[in-house]
Amino acid sequence: MQYRGAEDLGPEQHITVRRTAAQELARRGLIGVLIYPAFILVLALATPIGNDYPVFSYLVLGIVLVTSAVRFLLHLYFQQVYEHSRKTWHVAYSLSVWLTALFSGIYAAEGIEHYGISWPAMIATVMIAGICAGALTSMCMALNTLRLYLLLMLLPSIIYSLMLEGNMRFSMSFALLAFLAYALVQARNVGREYWEALINSVRLNAETQKRLHSLTYNDPLTGLPNRELFQDRLRQAALDAKRRGHLVCVMSLGLDRFKNVNDTLGHHAGDLLLKDIAGRLEQTLREGDTISRLSGDTFALICPITTDSHHAAFVAHKLLEQLDSPFVIEDLELFITASVGIAVYPQDTTSPEQLLKNAEAAMFRIKKQGGSGYEYYKADVNTQAAERLKLESRLRPALERGEYVLHYQPKVELAAGRLAGFEALLRWCPPGSSPVPPNQFIPILEETGLIAPVGEWVLRAACRQNKLWQDSGLPPITMAVNLSARQFRDPGLAGLVERVLRETGLEAHWLELEITESMLMDHTPETAATLQRLNTMGVRLSIDDFGTGYSSLAYLKRLPISVLKIDREFVKDITSDSNDAAVVQAVIAMAHNLNLRVVAEGAETAEQISFLRDQNCDEMQGFFTSRPVPAADAQPILLDGHCKKIAGIAAAAAAGTRHLN
């Protein structure tokens, strides 16, 4: 093809163009199947030609009917004939068209020869001109066929008009000759427009199909194969390995703490980082390997190997090495680590789908251990993952079903054993089974985002219970509620607390919100403003698990903190470990210098209580006084208002002091 745009087409697209043009030629030619027999019948029945030349009329009509039938059959059986032989199809079509044109042109010219410039000749001439004009569009895709067709239709009339007597013969022959010249020029123009439009359409369609294929099977950000294409190639790799007796290793690579990049630098920076990471990982590929981006920060690799599954460890090491050097994103150097899980076909499973799941399970296990490494899949990993998935599916409807309850653990003043308040602790009691330990379901709530609605429910239920106790005449106490990291980062936290207090009727100074030290390590100006607003409302703020965050203590001056809660890890051995004792002493002294109250968590023995009292610790919370209990069991504790065991220790200490005096 020499038309514009044809050079951009590939071999398959050239075939598509020719085939489409031929099919369109056959389809448009169906009009002629009806027009030509009608044309002959009109001339034969409506003019004297049919009466004067009956045999010739029938002959022409028969030929036209036969050629029309051939064209109809060529359209009807286009698939079979064209696919069998394109050349045969074009020859058959062209011959049928040319025969129709030749005999139709001769038949019309007979009228001009025998009747001169009369109405029968005019009818024939006008009809021929109209048919030729229609052929410019119906046959423009077959230019050579169209040119000969026009000549066969018009030349007989031009020749016969020259044989007429009188001056009109030149006028008529010139008019027909001019029309023929015009038709030939237009045939070329219309043909060029058709072919260029068709070529452009096929090219655009090919580009669209290519883009659709890319969108369907490739990750739009990195250009790597997506999960669907990856799984298709994994199935093919498994079939090849089964046939050859080889192995296939699948590696799932998850970036460690990638969420921090999105949260601090924004998703645009995260996208740039992912593209750079994808480029580096591609450099580790051998021929036959496939690397894919499965989801946000998770990549996967198919690595066909021969017989040694330990080769996968070498590949995993290379993948991790690619991430060792820093990434420069928006003029910042970022250091990224990753966790790689490895599963081997057919050792771990013969199912390609399960193979990927096994690799992902091994990868998540590495992440739980701190990340930055690789590990082969072990059978117990899937058992844990299945149990976790089952637990998650039961957690999702738990809030709507009312399966959550609050238990309350008292906080007691160490000086005299007086009740200082309660901490509300979430418990999950699925119907028909025993309560699920908090350390099993709360991490899932946080990872799935369910902690947001559940945390709001905890806040509202704790405030409502405290107000209920106050309204029943019990002594007012402070209710402490733990905040999750997601709640802490929520810019609407202060508004939520204000709304809950208003709805429940609880005064703000009877509410204490506990946040962990690790949350404060990542605090932003926005979260600092939220804490200031809560403090202005009258809500007390405490730091839970103090001493485990390894952070700067500067925030104790900048943020409106009222209470420090010493982590139980430091309290449990204070009577036997001098290091823990020193840490607790230092924290208590520092907190008092900053006018902060101190609560010791996890105190379980009288010796621990005595030590804490001697260090002037303000409050304690632990099994020594009470385990977390339901509201009904917490009410008697509140009614009593004192812990007799601590009061006894305080009294004994006071008596000892008097005795010494």
* 316 and 439 together in one domain: no
* 126 and 258 together in one domain: no
Cα(512)–Cα(494) distance, rounded to whole angstroms? 13
Please check whether residue 220 lies inside any domain of the structure: no
* 524 and 636 together in one domain: yes
pLDDT of residue 431: 86
- What total of structural domains would you count in the chain? 3
Q: Which string of b and e fits 601-614 if b means at least 16 CB within 10 Å?
A: bbbeeeebbbbbbe
* 485 and 530 together in one domain: yes
Tokens of 379: 């059978």
- Widest pairwise Cα distance in the chain: 157
* 170 and 263 together in one domain: no
Q: Which positions of the chain have pLDDT values less than 70?
A: 1-10, 14, 26, 29-58, 60-61, 71-72, 74-84, 110-124, 164-170, 213-215, 306-307, 380-385, 521-523, 547-554, 650-661
Name, in order, each residue with C-beta under 8 angstroms of 294's C-beta and a sequence gap of 6 or more. Answer: 226, 227, 230, 252, 300
pLDDT of residue 89: 73
* 650 and 575 together in one domain: yes
Please check whether residue 385 lies inside any domain of the structure: no
For residue range 60-89, list pLDDT tens digits in order: 667 777 777 776 676 666 656 666 677 777
Cα(480)–Cα(478) distance, rounded to whole angstroms? 6
* 451 and 360 together in one domain: no
Q: Helix 644-660 and helix 606-614: axis angle, to 10°?
A: 60
Cα(493)–Cα(515) distance, rounded to whole angstroms? 13
Name, in order, each residue with C-beta under 8 angstroms of 223's C-beta and a sequence gap of 6 or more. Answer: 214, 278
Cα(467)–Cα(143) distance, rounded to whole angstroms? 92
* 356 and 447 together in one domain: no
* 528 and 586 together in one domain: yes
pLDDT of residue 660: 45
Name, in order, each residue with C-beta under 8 angstroms of 397's C-beta and a sequence gap of 6 or more. Answer: none
Can you give the CATH number for the domain in which 461 is found?
3.20.20.450
Can you give the CATH number for the domain in which 240 is found?
3.30.70.270
* 444 and 514 together in one domain: yes
Peptide bond before residue 630 is cis, with ω within 30 degrees of 0: no
What φ, ψ does residue 334 adopt, rounded to 5°?
Answer: -115, 135
Which residue range forms the structural domain that includes residue 609?
A: 392-660
Please check whether residue 221 lies inside any domain of the structure: no
Q: Are 455 and 483 in contact (CB under 8 A)?
A: yes
pLDDT of residue 339: 93
* 319 and 407 together in one domain: no
Tokens of 646: 């601590």
616: left (phi over 0), alpha (psi -120 to 50) or beta: left
pLDDT of residue 88: 77
Q: Which string of b and e fits 431-443 if b means at least 16 CB within 10 Å?
A: eeeeebeeeebbe
Q: What is the dihedral of CA 453, 457, 458, 461, to 10 degrees?
A: 180
Q: Provide the 8-state DSSP code for 225.
A: B
